[in-house]
Amino acid sequence: MLIWTFFPVCATGIALSLVVPAARQGRLLAWVGCLAAIALMLAGANALLAGKTFTQPLWSLPGLATTLTLHLDRLSGVFLFVTGLVLFPASIFAGSELNRKPERRDSRPFTILLLGLYVSIALIFLAGDAVLFLLAWEVMSILCYLLIVSSHEYENGQAGSGYLLLAMGEAGTLAVAIGFLLLAAGVNSLDFAAIKEHWVNATNVTNVTAAASRLQYPILPTLHSAVRWAVFLLSFFGFGVKTGIVPVNSWLPRAYAAAPRAFVPVLAGATLNLGLYGILRVNADLMPATHAGPGLLALVIGTLSALVGILYATTDNDLKLVLAHSSIENAGIIVAGIGAGMVFVATAHPALAAIAFVAALYHLINHSLYKTLLFFGAGAVEGQAGTRDMDRLGGLIRWMPLTALGFLAGTLAISALPPFNGFVSEWLTLQTMLRSAELSSTAVKIVFALCGAGLALTAALAVTCFVKVFAMSFLGMRRLDEKRQVSEATSGALAPIFILAALCLAFGVLPTYVIPALDSALNRLAGASAAENLVPPFFASNPAHATLPPAFAGEFHDLGAQVGQSALPGRGLVVLHHGGTENPVVFAMSTSYMLVVMVVLLLVTYVVIRVWLTRRRELSRRVRWDGGVRRLLPEMTYTATGFSNPVRVVFDAIFRPTTIQDTRETVAEHFRTAIRREKARVYLVDRLVFHPVKSVGLRIARCLAAMHHGRINAYVTYALLALLIVWIISQ
């Protein structure tokens, strides 16, 4: 019922936008978008928590031997719920952006396209067959392109961004379509249920003897390892285009920078998840892993994507580009978690696979929340300050204190600092990497160790990056033109910021409620329960409490693990993975109790300083000492470029910028007064992947062009040689 409510709501909104005046398009979009988002959230929550799934056939396609089908299961319920969480505040923010300039001519097309995009996103998650999935995916790609290029904020110099998004998206769609055809080759159906049943049976067949498999399954071409690799590579990199993983991510920072402020939160918080859903659906659900190779490749690619993304984010000064590169980083962390889960499934470690999949999906939810929040903040800053260049920002906390507070919550979350949500998922991911010690293969252990080190470096650089982002934007001295009037963001921007800030805190301090909810969607993929392996029932009111060893439960009760059981339902507030008798606690933490301790420590510190240390001291105000400088000018202060320069120098071998200008001005040939150095950065993927392909293509084109010289005799000779070659081959 909720799903069938969602589609009419969006359709009604599209119809009303055709007749509602342009000045009211913002209100219409906010109301309709929020109602549609609530329907998605409730439908996803019902499927995830109450198991209310359904399958609804729509239309038969005799020529393709399939039926267009809507199918909602627990996995798609997770993504529907997350999408609703993002679209609710995003609709409010988009409506406020349209209300800022009610005379905008593109407000009506924007409303229609955005609501249409909501429908296409939901259809992708609800598709029960490959045909409906690809149709919805194609519509989604076209709508994303139109939402970028049709905006009044889109400049002619950014024209290549939209075309690049569309071109790479179409290439990814083609790869996914071929992958689906290979999946369905032995099924004669494009229905996901039939494909899954076939591949699950094929996976079971690999465990019997070769003779028995030949007798029972005389023709099983899809079992061949080459076909499995082909399906994985096509689906992984095809969906990876939308996800933004290396090396198919060059469109993402350009498209995010070109996208309008009202749309980019949806682009980052909702559409990026579509690629991750496709990777998980195909390679963990429809085609279970049988060997560790695909999982290891996903693990390595995810780690490289995370490291490359955060390096470019740390050294960029454009707020939008920093957040765009950070999306590549977070997508890489999620893909690495999915890859680790695939390895554990293939090597028969279901408990570790469950933990890896939960960590990946948890981080996906967290990224959707805090990245959408940060794009709201970046949009509010750009709207008030008129620029996204952090070298020109600074001191905004004086004029935008509420925006700064919400943005600070987002930076703490994305930096993986407790008690916010980013800490939980990144901590679980790193702990998953360490559990590779249980694997038997030394080579696989080495890969996990290197990837774990890479993800740890990524986490450290993320802290550096977002210290720069917040400090250079909101703290310090104002570097904007004094004529520019800056004021607090509108309520339409602040409301979604604080909604998501509260969600970031909630998902951070309540992981013992999030993990069991996600577990119901992933236990079929992993073959084990993540809740049983991560959330022990320390609350005595829980029926499973009696299953804990008395000595084990007693020790943690002495530490306070049962605190809160009289007021809270559930299993407990401690995330803990326990091993055997020799090592009963592999890892453990509790952000719930951590929050209480942090609040108490802050209060004690405040009381000690205010009441005891400074009670008898008088406050005196004097002119600050600035190294002998009479007046500290804004251009003398530390900039975003200077802050990130150590990272740029250390990783210069990766960036390898091209110097465009390098001039020095001197007085009397001795005293240097100014140094101007301008460098152009060539993106790593472009330099290593696309530029070599382009060079080879140009060389081939030049060789072919040399053959076209206008001589008829030479052309006749070419034709005769071609016929001779064909005749020889045919013999």
Query: What are the pLDDT digits (tens) for 239-283?
Result: 999 998 988 888 899 889 888 888 999 999 999 999 999 999 999
Q: Within 10 A of 686 (CB to CB), how many other CB atoms are there?
A: 14
Sequence-separated (6 or more) residues with CB below 8 Å from residue 181: none
Question: Using CA atoms, how far apart are residues 385 and 120, in angstroms rounded to an integer?
Answer: 34
Query: In DSSP terms, which residues pair with 676 in a beta bridge?
Result: 663
**Rounded average pLDDT over 569-596:** 86
Q: What is the DSSP letter of 660?
A: E
Question: Using CA atoms, how far apart are residues 144 and 698, in angstroms rounded to an integer?
Answer: 31
Structure tokens at 601: 């420590």
User: Is residue 392 domain-resident?
Assistant: no
Q: What CA–CA distances, in Å, run from 134 to 57, 112, 172, 538, 692?
A: 17, 21, 11, 46, 31
Question: Using CA atoms, how far apart are residues 613 and 305, in angstroms rounded to an integer?
Answer: 49
Q: What percent of the chain has pLDDT over 90?
A: 45
Structure tokens at 177: 């379509």
User: Is residue 134 domain-resident?
Assistant: yes
Q: Is 247 helix (H, G, I), strand (E, B) or coil?
A: coil
Vertex 233: Cα angle to 294 and 352 (nearest 5)? 25
Helix (H) or strand (E) holding 96: helix 74-100
Alpha-helical (H) ranges within 20-73 are: 25-49
Phi/psi at 679 (5° precision): -125, 145
- For the cut 70, the answer to whether the pLDDT of residue 202 exceeds it is no
- For the cut 80, the answer to whether the pLDDT of residue 169 exceeds it is yes
Structure tokens at 9: 């709501």
Structure tokens at 262: 């009202």
Distance linking the first and last C-alpha atoms of the chain: 66
Model pLDDT, residue 152? 61
Q: Binning pLDDT at 50, 70 and 90, where does residue 207 land? A: very low
**Rounded average pLDDT over 233-240:** 93
Model pLDDT, residue 578? 82
- Listed range (14-23, 139-148, 231-240, 674-683) with the worst mean pLDDT: 674-683
Structure tokens at 385: 């300050």
Model pLDDT, residue 677? 64
**Rounded average pLDDT over 467-484:** 86
- For the cut 50, the answer to whether the pLDDT of residue 210 exceeds it is no
User: Is residue 711 domain-resident?
Assistant: yes
Cβ proximity of 373 and 497 under 8 Å:
yes
User: Is residue 123 domain-resident?
Assistant: yes
CB burial of 234-246 (b: ≥16 within 10 Å; e: otherwise) equals bbbbbbbbbbbbb
Phi/psi at 250 (5° precision): -65, -20
**Residue numbers of the domain that contains 155:** 1-204
pTM of the model: 0.90
Model pLDDT, residue 666? 60
Model pLDDT, residue 220? 44
Task: Tell me how many domains the chain contains.
Answer: 2
User: In one letter, which amino acid is 691?
Assistant: H
User: Is residue 34 domain-resident?
Assistant: yes
* Helix pair 107-126, 2-17: axis angle to 10 deg: 160
Question: Using CA atoms, how far apart are residues 660 and 676, in angstroms rounded to an integer?
Answer: 10
Q: Binning pLDDT at 50, 70 and 90, where does residue 360 land? A: very high
Structure tokens at 480: 């904007």
Q: Binning pLDDT at 50, 70 and 90, where does residue 428 land? A: very high
Phi/psi at 578 (5° precision): -105, 145
Question: Using CA atoms, how far apart are residues 67 and 97, in angstroms rounded to an integer?
Answer: 41
Q: Binning pLDDT at 50, 70 and 90, where does residue 217 land? A: very low
Cβ proximity of 34 and 91 under 8 Å:
yes
**Torsion of Cα atoms, 403 then 96 then 136 then 49, to 10°:** 60
Report the DSSP pairing between strands 575-577 and 54-61.
unpaired
Q: Binning pLDDT at 50, 70 and 90, where does residue 448 land? A: very high
Which residue, 204, 231, 247, sits at the end of a domain?
Answer: 204
Based on the number of CB atoms within 10 Å of its own CB, is 412 exposed (0-12), middle (13-18) or buried (19 or more)?
buried
User: Is residue 14 domain-resident?
Assistant: yes
Q: Is 716 helix (H, G, I), strand (E, B) or coil?
A: helix
Q: Binning pLDDT at 50, 70 and 90, where does residue 59 land? A: confident
Sequence-separated (6 or more) residues with CB below 8 Å from residue 227: 182, 185, 221
| Average pLDDT value over all residues in the chain | 85
Which residue, 145, 173, 204, sits at the end of a domain?
Answer: 204
User: Is residue 303 domain-resident?
Assistant: no
User: Is residue 109 domain-resident?
Assistant: yes
Q: Which is more confidently placed, 174 or 549?
A: 174
Sequence-separated (6 or more) residues with CB below 8 Å from residue 623: none
- In three-state form (DSSP H/G/I as H, E/B as E, the rest C), the secondary structure along 512-550 is HHHHHHHHHHHHHHHCCCHHHHHCCCCCCCCHHHHHCCH
Model pLDDT, residue 610? 80
Which residue, 163, 189, 204, sits at the end of a domain?
Answer: 204
Model pLDDT, residue 460? 93
